[in-house]
Amino acid sequence: MGLLAYGADGYGDELLAGAWVTVQLAVFAYALAAVLGTLMAILTLKPRGVRWAVGRVYASVATGVPSLLVIFLLYYGGTEIVHALLVPFGVDERPSISPFWAAVAALAFVYTPYLADLLRGAIHNVPKGQLEAAEALSVPRRQIWLGVLLPQALRIAYPGFVNIWVVLLKDTALVSLAGLTDLIAAAKVASGSTREPFLFYGVVVVFFVLFAAATIRLANRHARRLDRGVRPSEA
C-alpha cells in the first residue's frame, strides 16, 4: 500500500490529480450538456418544422458516432472549426484548443440530445393546466418557462438525468486515449512503472463505483426534496 502514498514515494498525489481532472471533465461536460439540452428541448418542442428536423439530424449524428471520435475531431480540428466560426464576425484568430476543453465540448456535443430528449418528454408531461393557469394570470413568458414549466419538467426528468450522468462519467475514461492525464492515464503510468496493475486499476474501479454510487445517493436525496410537494401516488 506504500505505493499509494502521497508525495515522491507513492502515486497517491498523481492519482488524486488524475481523479480531479476526471471529475472536472465530467462536471463541466454535464453542465454544458444540461444547458444546451434544455435549449434544444425548448427549441424542438413541436414535432414538425425546420427546427425539429435539424434537431433530429443532430441527434442522429451525435448518438450514432462514438464520443472518442468526436473528441479527436474537436482536438485536432477544433482550432480550424473555431476559426471558421469566428471569421464571419471579422475575427481572424486561430486559438489553440486544449485537450481538456476539446473533451468537454465533445462530451457535451454527444450528450446534449440525450438530455434534450428526456427534458422534451418531461415538458410534455407537465400537466397542461399549469401552463394555462400561468397564462390566465398573464405571467410573463420567460417566467412561465423559468418559474413554472422547467422546474416541474426537471423533476419529472430527474431519474433519467441521473442515468445519463453515470453514463457520461464512465465515458470520460476514454479521454486518456486523446492524451489527457486523467485518472486512467495516471493509473496506467503508475502500473507501468511499478508492475502492479491490479493495485492501481483496482483503485480506479473502486473510484468509479464509489463515485457513481455517492452521486446517485446524493441525487436520490435531492429527488426526494424535489418531490416533497407531490403526492406519492403521482410521483
Partner 1 sequence: MSFDFALAWDSMPALLNGAWMTVLITASVMAVGAVLGFGMCLVRMSRNRVLAAVGAAYVAVFRGAPSIVLLYLVYAGLPQLSIVRDTPLWVLFASPLFCAILGLGLNHSAYVVEILRGALSAVPPGPVEAALALGLSPRLVFLKVRLPIAVRYGLKAYQNEVLIFLKSTVAVGAVTIADLTGAANEIFSMTYDPFTPLVTAGAMYWAMTNSLRLAFEALDRRLNRHLAAGVPDSRPATARRADPGSALFRRLRRSPAKPAE
Q: Is 176 in the site for partner 1 (CB under 8 A)?
A: yes
Q: Is 91 in the site for partner 1 (CB under 8 A)?
A: no
Residues 16-55 that bind partner 1 (CB under 8 A): none
Nearer to partner 1, 152 or 191 (CB): 191
Q: Is 181 in the site for partner 1 (CB under 8 A)?
A: no
Candidates 26, 107, 184, 190: give the one binding partner 1 (CB under 8 A).
184
Q: What is the DSSP string of the chain?
A: -GGG-SSSSSSHHHHHHHHHHHHHHHHHHHHHHHHHHHHHHHHT-SSSHHHHHHHHHHHHHHHHS-HHHHHHHHHHHHHHHHHHHHGGGT----PPPPHHHHHHHHHHHHHHHHHHHHHHHHHHHS-HHHHHHHHHTT--HHHIIIIIIHHHHHHHHHHHHHHHHHHHHHHGGGGGGGT---HHHHHHHHHHHHS-HHHHHHHHHHHHHHHHHHHHHHHHHHHHHHGGGS-TTT-
Q: Is 11 in the site for partner 1 (CB under 8 A)?
A: no
Q: Is 158 in the site for partner 1 (CB under 8 A)?
A: no
Options 23-31, 35-43, 159-167, 221-229: segment touching partner 1 (CB under 8 A): 159-167
Q: Contact positions toward partner 1, by CB under 8 A?
A: 56, 59-61, 63-70, 72-73, 76-77, 80-81, 83-84, 113-114, 117-118, 160, 163-164, 166-167, 170-174, 176-177, 184, 187-188, 191-192, 195, 197-198, 201, 204-205, 208-209, 212-213
